[in-house]
Structure 1
Amino acid sequence: MINDTVGIIGGTGWLGGAIAEAVLAKGLVSAGKLIISNRSGKYPLAQQGACLVTDNQDLVDRSDLVIIAVRPEHFASLHINATGKTLISLMAGITAQSITAKTLASAVVRAMPNAAVEIGQSFTPWYCSGGVEATTKSLVQRLFECVGTAAEVQEEDFIDYLSALSGTGPAFPALLMTALANQAMLAGIPGDIAQLAAKNVVVNSSQLLASHDAQQMIDALVAYRGVTAAALQVMRQGDFDEQVGRALQAGAAVARKGLQA
């Protein structure tokens, strides 16, 4: 457990709320050291001892570490003075420079969790801008490990690219699962069976990748020259990798363009 007071602006939203619940559940922060801003001043975590405030500046003033977990388009209306503070931004498309200029924070950490924070399975890349001490970096890593795995990256541009990769969370698996099910139904497979089969591939069978190298698995299946090899060959001939690349570049371009205040 840490002694720092952690404040979460937007701590009652789906992302901020999931992080707030996780740091309490994992014992990283005591309830008395967690401050959450909420316009109504009401939230279930208050029953566990978390402090709720209605004023964001009050939260900043009372916190050692401040997490901004609001939608990027709401940043323009967020007026705080964070002089001398370290801010952790969970906003896509808002650069560290823009955050520093608007808030006067001494250091900014940009991080990009995804929807899997809800089940403690997010991958969160994070980047430090400004003078962030080693102890603070360790705290950032531990904080995001409360909701999954995390890793520091050395270039801010990586955060923009990863916003379109890991930041999308279940979007790509959901797209694949929908495509598999739809194609099965077009082939005459009953809808309920098609859905079960597609879900098994995406949700259940893919768990093998937790203990197997993905490329080695592909190579082994292709070498077997069976049904799976035939399917993989068609996907490769259809420029599957290139299409994924274009999708990631399109998402990254939006992040790099920025949603400036």
Structure 2
Amino acid sequence: MINETVGIIGGTGWLGGAIAKAVLAKGLVPTGNLIISNRSGSHPLAQQGACLVTDNQDLVDRSDVVIIAVRPEHFASLNINAAGKTVISLMAGMTAQTIAAQTQASAVVRAMPNAAVEIGESFTPWYCFAQTAATTKSLVQRLFECVGTAAEVQQEDYIDYLSALSGTGPAFPALLMTALANQAMAAGIPPDIAQLAAKNVVVNSSQLLASHDAQQMIDALVAYRGVTAAALQTMIQGHFEEQIGRALQSGAAVARKGLQA
């Protein structure tokens, strides 16, 4: 448990709300030390121990740490003064320098969770702008460990790149699963069987990767020279990895543009 008061602007949205629920469920802060803001001032999270306010500046004034979980294009209209506070931004593409200039925060952290916060399985990279106290870094790490795993990165540009990698959450697996199912149906496999087979590959069988090295698994399967090897070699020869690289660079480029995207 930490003694600081944490405020979440956007704390009833899907991302801020998931973090708020996890913080409460895991008892990261004492009862009454989590404040969230929304326009109505009411939300089921209040029944779980969160304090609700309708004014963002009121939230900032009452908090030691302020999490901003709104869309980047809504940041300019927040108009908050967070002097003396730590601000943690979950906004893609909004630079730490811009956040510091607009909020006057004493410490700014950029972080990029993904949709897996809903099940406590997000990987959240985070970056501290300028000199940041060790106690603040510890708080940030513990905060994001409430919704999965987390790691500090040393360059802000890494956050933009990782927005297109880990920040996409289930998007890439969803695309793979859809492609596998569609191709199976195109080959004449009944839709229900195609969907089950694709889901097993992406969701169930991939659990093996939790205890196996991915490259070693690929090498072993290719060396076996069987059905799997033939499929993998076709993907490799089709420059699968290079295509993934282009996808990540495209996503990172949008993240770096921020409000201009």
Report the TM range for the smaller structure's normalisation. over 0.9
Task: Tell me the residue number matched to 2:115.
Answer: 115
Specify the alignment match of 2:161 in structure 1: 161
Question: CA separation in 1, counterparts of 2:48 and 2:190?
Answer: 48
Q: CA RMSD in A?
A: 0.8
Q: Counterpart amino acid of 1:83? A: A
Write the distance in 1 (CA, Å) between the matches of 2:48 and 2:210. 35
Q: Among the aligned pairs, what percent are the same residue?
A: 88
> 1:160-239 to 2 correspondence within 5 Å?
160-239=160-239
After TM superposition, the runs of 4+ consecutive aligned structure 1 residues lying more than 3 A away are none
TM-score, length basis structure 2: 0.98
Partner deviation per Cα, 1:24-48 (whole Å, 9 max, x = no partner): 1111112310000111000111112
Whether the aligned pair in 2 keeps the contact of 1:31 and 1:51 (CA below 8 Å) is: no
Is 1:45 the counterpart of 2:51? The answer is no
Q: Answer yes or no: is the 8 Å Cα contact 1:106–1:130 preserved in 2.
A: no
Q: CA deviation at 1:49?
A: 2.6
Counterpart Cα distance in 1 of 2:184 and 2:50: 49
Q: Which runs of 5+ in 2 are unaligned?
A: none
Q: CA deviation at 1:130?
A: 2.6
Residue deviations 1:188-245 (CA, integer Å, cap 9, x gap): 0000000000000000000000000000000000010000000000000100000000
Which amino acid is 1:80 matched to?
I
Contact 2:161–2:248, Cα closer than 8 Å, also in 1: yes
Deviations 1:52-103 (A, max 9, x none): 0000001001100000000111112111001111100000010001101111
Assess if the C-alpha contact under 8 Å between 2:24 and 2:49 holds in 1: no
Q: State the alpha-carbon separation in 2 of the partners of residues 30 and 199 from structure 1.
A: 40
Query: What residue ranges of structure 1 are gaps of 5+ in the alignment?
Result: none
- The aligned counterpart of 1:11 is 11
Count of residues paired in the alignment: 260
Given that 1:7 and 1:34 are in contact with CA atoms closer than 8 Å, whether structure 2 keeps it comes out as: yes
Partner of residue 24, structure 1: 24
Q: In structure 1, give the amino acid aligned to 2:11.
A: G
Residue pairs, 1:64-75, within 5 angstroms:
64-75=64-75
Cα distance in 1 for partners of 2:49, 2:164 equals 36
Aligned partners of 2:72 and 2:258 also within 8 Å: no
Aligned: 1:94 with 2:102: no
Whether the aligned pair in 2 keeps the contact of 1:163 and 1:252 (CA below 8 Å) is yes
Q: Deviations over 1:121-176 (max 9, x none)?
A: 00000000033210110010000000000000000000000000000000000000
